[in-house]
Amino acid sequence: MRNNHQLRDATRRHFFSDCGVGLGSIALTSLMNNGRLASAQTADSSEQVISNPLIPKDSHFPAKAKAVIFLFMAGGPSQLELFDYKPKLAELSGQPIPESYIAGKRFAFMNSSHRINLLGPKRTFRQHGESGAWVSDLLPQTASMVDDLCIVKTCKTDLFNHAPAKLFMNTGSGLFGRPSMGSWITYGLGSECDNLPGFVVLQSGPRGPRGGAVLWGSGILPTTYQGVPLRSTGDPILNLSSPVDVTADQQRGVVDAVRELNLKRLVATGDQEIATRISAYEMAYRMQSSAPDLMETSSESKETLSLYGIQDPGESSFARNCLLARRLVERGVRFIQLYHTNWDHHGGPTENLETHLPSICQEIDRPCMALIRDLQQRGLLENTIVIWGGEFGRTPMGEVRESTGRNHHIDAFTMWMAGGGFRPGTVFGETDEFGFGPVDNPIHVHDLHATILHQLGIDHERLSVRFQGLDFRLTGVEPVHVVNEILL
């Protein structure tokens, strides 16, 4: 990043050197202490407080976790090739699924490629660790760490097309325009980092996730709380770099002059929004050096890089994003979401279970486990919830296009959680002999959301916003429960 060090130096020279002091509490008077504005100071203005909408807020009750890392496997991983071992499915492979399972059900691609013949698991499974969790040969690293994971095999969602289902997993609704979980959480708790956004999104894989920016949108909440994508090429944040021909000193000079003139206007009009804007400019300026700093992964030790399997720290990958996730947690960022595409293994030419599933598993297996181990080693896992999963799972019935795959499936799919007070070494929820539906302990997306909020000290029923006459909340209006069985 050009001028990075100059910028940082300029920051030190002119600005709040102690990042521990949240801007939220800095009174205008302290900004005036530089003397320039002493003459403009009035009794009125001395009461004004510069407000920062991301200032940390108290939770409803004591929290077990402070941060969330959501590893979003976009497209819908096949639980039947990874975690949900079904010998019966192998036995009856090629035969139609009994009518009783699918009567009245609806699936994606109903009119074209949807098939009703069962497809046996394509991989071999073994039990691992003290918990005896079944994991297939596609995820050896994950298998070696099952005793650190809380695996839930009976996740349920409502929608079976990608974009609506992704929205549902993120916002609790299939409709566009609702806040995502990361927005709700930063809205509810603020952020402990005052030089990076409170909700950060990282992406890897061949294409962006279906649905795009609405997946991390703030919907009816102010845009302050929307997810900010950290980009792997160019500026990590849109418009982060100063214009090409502007030096660090010039940029500082511009920001200082803007602040000075804004302060004069604040005093003249008394409008508190100007105070908020002054604070926003200062945070923006700090982001100009803190965001490039964050991206400097080459400063990590060789051991750490090899733990994640990163060869070139400058190259964008899921592994690098996992490392960045840890660096973000260290800096106090509240919610970090990683999207990795493409898990949509229908059996098409670039998305089948035979070759493409193994290669994407290889991309994520080591980095996910490295992230957990790295957080553990630094004492951060205890306070950080790591979530792994997609928008839905895949059908026990096979799909035969150019090669073999499975269709979208919403009745039962697997996700795992680690850290943040989730009970490690747990396998929760059992599915029927084909892995079609739960036989016990179904966990609906809303239950999962409620449980995550609970660990962060938030009562999901109280985190609500009145909009257009309705009280909106992440977990919707139907009854929802916190799944205490999977918590410590």
Partner 1 sequence: MLTLIASCLGIVLTGQIAEAQSAVKVSFNQSIRRILYENCVSCHGPDAAHRKAELRLDERESAIASGAIVPGNPGDSSLLERVTSHDDKLVMPPKDTGKSLTPVQVDLLRRWIAEGAEYQKHWAYLRPDCLEPPDTVSGKPESPGHQRSDHPIDRFVRHRLSAAGLTPSPMAAPETLIRRLHLDLIGLPPTPEEIDEFLNNFGRDPRVAIEAKVDELLASPHYGERWGRWWLDQARYADSHGYSIDAPRQIWPWRDWVISALNTDMSFDEFTLEQLAGDLLPDASESQKVATGFHRNTQINQEGGIDPEQFRIDSVFDRVATTSSVWLGLTIGCAQCHDHKFDPITQKEYYQLFAFLNDQDEPSMKVFGSAEDGQRLNEQVRQLEQAAANYIRERQSVLGDWEAGLNDKDRESLPKEVITALKEGAKKRSDAQWRSLFGAGPGKTDLDFQKIVEDLKSIRNQIDSAPTTLVFQERASPRKSTILIKGDFTRPDAEVFPGTPALLHPLESSGGRANRIDLARWLTSRENPLTARVIVNRIWQQYFGRGIVETESDFGSQGTLPSHPELLDWLAIEFMDQGWSMKRLHRLIVTSATYQQSSTERTDLRAKDPHNYLLGRQQRLRLEAELIRDAALVASGLLSKKMGGPPVYPPIPDGVMGTGQVKHAWNVSQGEDRYRRGCYTFAFRASPPPVLNVFDAPDGYSTCTRRLRSNTPLQALTLLNDQTSIEFAGALKLLIENKGLEYAFRRCTSRVPQQDELSVLETLSSADAARVLLNLDETISRE
CB-nearer residue toward partner 1: 239 or 301: 239
Reduced DSSP (H G I as helix, E B as strand, rest coil) percent helix, strand, coil of the chain, to 5: 35, 20, 45
Task: Give residues 281-320 in contact with partner 1 (rule: CB under 8 A).
Answer: 281, 283-285, 287-288
The dihedral built from the CA positions of residue 347, 348, 351 and 355, taken in this order, carries a sign that is positive
CB-nearer residue toward partner 1: 258 or 380: 258
Q: Is 228 a binder of partner 1 (CB under 8 A)?
A: yes
Q: Is 438 helix (H, G, I), strand (E, B) or coil?
A: strand
State in angstroms the smallest separation of the CB of 120 from partner 1: 23
Task: Give residues 408-437 in contact with partner 1 (rule: CB under 8 A).
Answer: 408
Q: Is 349 a binder of partner 1 (CB under 8 A)?
A: no
C-alpha 203/C-alpha 336 separation (Å) is 11
C-alpha 377/C-alpha 329 separation (Å) is 14
Encode 369-412 in three state secondary structure. HHHHHHHHHCCCHHHEEEEEECCCEEEEEEEECCCEEEEEECCC
Task: Give residues 123-162 in contact with partner 1 (rule: CB under 8 A).
Answer: 161-162
Residues 25, 270, 296, 377: which binds partner 1 (CB under 8 A)? 270
C-alpha 335/C-alpha 294 separation (Å) is 15
Q: Is 191 a binder of partner 1 (CB under 8 A)?
A: no
Q: Which stretch binds partner 1 (CB under 8 A): 77-85, 145-153, 237-245, 311-319?
A: 237-245
State in angstroms the smallest separation of the CB of 213 from partner 1: 6
Of 56, 6, 332, nearest to 195 (Cα)? 332
Binding-residue total with partner 1 (CB under 8 A): 77
State in angstroms the smallest separation of the CB of 7 from partner 1: 12
Does residue 441 have a cis bond before it (omega within 30 degrees)?
A: no
Q: Is 478 helix (H, G, I), strand (E, B) or coil?
A: coil
State in angstroms the smallest separation of the CB of 256 from partner 1: 9
Q: Is 237 a binder of partner 1 (CB under 8 A)?
A: yes
**What mask of x and - would describe binding to partner 1 in positions 459 to 488, judged by CB under 8 A?**
--xx--xxxxxx------------------
C-alpha 65/C-alpha 381 separation (Å) is 9
Q: Is 352 a binder of partner 1 (CB under 8 A)?
A: no
Task: Give residues 443-462 in contact with partner 1 (rule: CB under 8 A).
Answer: 461-462
Secondary structure E strands in 191-334:
199-204, 228-230
C-alpha 452/C-alpha 482 separation (Å) is 8
Q: Is 274 a binder of partner 1 (CB under 8 A)?
A: yes
In order of 75, 85, 185, 398, 416, the CA distances from 409 in angstroms are 11, 16, 28, 11, 17
Q: Is 134 helix (H, G, I), strand (E, B) or coil?
A: strand
Of 469, 455, 364, 478, nearest to 181 (Cα)? 455
Residues 137, 147, 235, 432: which binds partner 1 (CB under 8 A)? 235
Q: Which stretch binds partner 1 (CB under 8 A): 24-32, 275-283, 309-317, 415-423?
A: 275-283
Residues 22, 129, 140, 208: which binds partner 1 (CB under 8 A)? 208
State in angstroms the smallest separation of the CB of 125 from partner 1: 29
State in angstroms the smallest separation of the CB of 265 from partner 1: 5
Task: Give residues 22-81 in contact with partner 1 (rule: CB under 8 A).
Answer: 44, 53
State in angstroms the smallest separation of the CB of 266 from partner 1: 8
CB-nearer residue toward partner 1: 116 or 163: 163
Q: Is 331 a binder of partner 1 (CB under 8 A)?
A: no
Residues 224, 304, 362, 404: which binds partner 1 (CB under 8 A)? 224
C-alpha 237/C-alpha 229 separation (Å) is 7
CA angle at 215 for the pair 214 and 221, rounded to the nearest 5°: 65
